[in-house]
Amino acid sequence: MSDVLEPRAPAGSPRPELLRGLLVLRVVIVSTLLLSALLIQLTFSLALPLSPVYYLAALAYGLSIGALLGLTRLSPTANAILQILGDLGIVTGLVYISRGPESGFTFLYLAVVTSGTLLLGRRGGLVTAGLASVFYAVLVHLMSTGAVPAVESDELAPRVWSAGQLVGNVAMNAGAFAATALLVSAASEKLRRAEADVERRKTEIARLQALHSSVLASMSSGVLTTDLDGVVTFANPPAFDLLLKGRDELVGQHLSKTGLVDPESIARIAALESDALRFEGNRTALGPDAYFGVTATPLRDEHGRVTGRILIFQNLTELKKLESEVRLKEKLAAVGELTAAIAHEIRNPLASISGSVQVLSSSAAPGSAERRLMDVVVQESHRLSSILEDFLKYVRPREQAIEAVDGAAALRDVLSLLAHSDELGAGHAVSWDLEPESVVLQADPGQLRQVFWNLSRNAVAAMPGEGRLSVEARLEGPWWIVTMRDEGRGMTPEERDRLFAPFAHSFPGGTGLGLAIVHRIVEEHGGSIRVESAPGRGTAVVVSLPLDGPRGRSAVREPAAEPSSRARAGTEAA
């Protein structure tokens, strides 16, 4: 027969809590009988044989104490057998003193059978029922044959039983004992299965909860849930990290206090009922460059009712930077194509115009209006020629001559030259802090100096009246990082995004191509260039160059996003 239809005896020993429960139950029953006997003896004048009850009670208490001491000295099975046999003896004694077949305490055998079934399973319960039937049948037989004299009472006349009545009484009780064992075993087996199922479900729920928590904690995206009023009810660990807030600053707070979305977006989220809502925006708490993408969807219960909102958000700052770099490269490529197409078409006519005007100017009188106008034409021709040269240099940069260069020495030479040039006014100052003093990297010496010269001149030009240019160089792993900070007016995010586009910025005397050329040189050397600026707070340009040059970039990882914040006093010139 299958396990479902035929319950099996439980595996293992009786549980300690059941053994203790049997002890408590015995003490309660015996104490109740003892108290009842005392009340009967004190209240009524019946000549009942109550003295044996006291002896049985003492025996029961002694059995309980022995079983209690045996909990730590005997195996649970041996302890259970000891208690069941003792209980059968006590109940048989109680039935005997209460006139055997006429006893009203026969039902206590059912309690012992129930205990045996719960402690030892179906097989133990049936054995206990069989022992109870034997104990009872032997007692009835001995009393009916006179081998054991019945307890006499002057006020209670003994009943005369026929042999058939005695057999029927014993058979009925034996059947009751066996039926009790079967019923209790079936009920206990169902109970055990229910407990096992509950434990299995608890384990499964705990596993799912652990998996749920692990998934949410392992996500790179932040997750927030809110109720219908917009109060945050849950946040996963990445949400705390992305929003730079602790648990108390998020959970239980209104969505408007998280800084994740603006009031207009909060109103749109509150009106969300079905479709997902996607929007992007800046996070001022993380700085003007921090950019977040947020997706909001309704949160529904098991009945499909909307109970709140779910917000999943990611930090898109790096992605936006990459997009900005791609757009810049597309612009540079477009300008390069245009330049390549028209540069040669302009240079030859321009050279002819310049030469012709110079010939004509030689025939004009010095100081005349015609001579001055011709000089202006020649000067502008030379300026246009310079612009075309920069265009061609930008579009068709000369082949790099990569060699081992002391980058720190080249930077120091350029800054010294700038500090003693006419580029600086009386209110300008240049300081630098290079650590280490010598850094050897693979680069084109001329292009490396051109990068430093263009960036430093551009920084000075951003401070037309006065200001300090601070230059810091640090070696971080396989990268040499140069940071140039000025105290100029700074730039808006829009100006910063267009900084390396040709003609985006042009100071007096410049062609508007210097920074575009710098960007191309740095990229061709396998490095990167980053700009940090805000209106009224100056500008910091961070150039990262790999020590191994263009060939070594793929073998190293990009340096940290934040430039070094150390500002040491360096050599200073004004």
Query: Where do the H-state alpha helices sit in 423-563?
Result: 445-461, 493-497, 514-524
- 71 compared with 403, residue with greater pLDDT: 403
Choice among 228-237, 367-376, 463-472 with the minimum mean pLDDT? 367-376
Reported as a single tens digit per residue, the pLDDT across 74-120 is 888 888 888 888 888 888 888 887 777 877 778 888 888 888 888 88
Choice among 28-42, 191-205, 529-543 with the minimum mean pLDDT? 28-42
| Alpha carbons 26 and 87: distance in angstroms, whole number | 8
Band of the pLDDT at 282, cuts 50, 70, 90? low
- What average pLDDT does this structure show over 386-390? 69
Strands 306-315 and 291-300: antiparallel
pLDDT at 560: 47
Read off the tokens for 388. 């075309």
Does the pLDDT value for residue 285 go beyond 60? no
- What average pLDDT does this structure show over 23-45? 72
pLDDT at 566: 34
pLDDT at 289: 64
Reported as a single tens digit per residue, the pLDDT across 126-170 is 888 888 888 888 888 888 887 777 665 545 556 667 778 888 888
Does the pLDDT value for residue 182 go beyond 60? yes
In contact, 511 and 386? CB cutoff 8 Å: yes
Does the pLDDT value for residue 11 go beyond 70? no
- 130 compared with 394, residue with greater pLDDT: 130
Reported as a single tens digit per residue, the pLDDT across 527-553 is 988 888 888 888 999 999 998 877 654
Choice among 309-313, 344-348, 532-536 with the minimum mean pLDDT? 344-348
Does the pLDDT value for residue 395 go beyond 50? yes
In contact, 529 and 522? CB cutoff 8 Å: yes
Read off the tokens for 147. 């081998």
pLDDT at 12: 54
**Domains of the chain and CATH, by start:** 16-197 (no CATH), 219-315 (3.30.450.20), 320-395 (1.10.287), 403-573 (3.30.565.10)
Name the average pLDDT for the chain: 77
> In sequence order, what E strands does 78-180 have?
none
Cβ atoms within 10 Å, residue 326: 10
pLDDT at 50: 63
φ/ψ (deg, to 5) at 215: -65, -45
In contact, 262 and 281? CB cutoff 8 Å: yes
pLDDT at 392: 63
pLDDT at 18: 77
Reported as a single tens digit per residue, the pLDDT across 455-514 is 888 888 888 888 889 999 999 889 999 999 998 888 888 788 777 776 665 555 555 667
Query: Euclidean distance between the first and final Cα of the chain, in Å?
Result: 102
- 550 compared with 281, residue with greater pLDDT: 550
Does the pLDDT value for residue 298 go beyond 70? yes
pLDDT at 280: 75
pLDDT at 220: 76
If DSSP codes are grouped into helix, strand and coil, which group holds residue 566?
coil
Band of the pLDDT at 383, cuts 50, 70, 90? confident
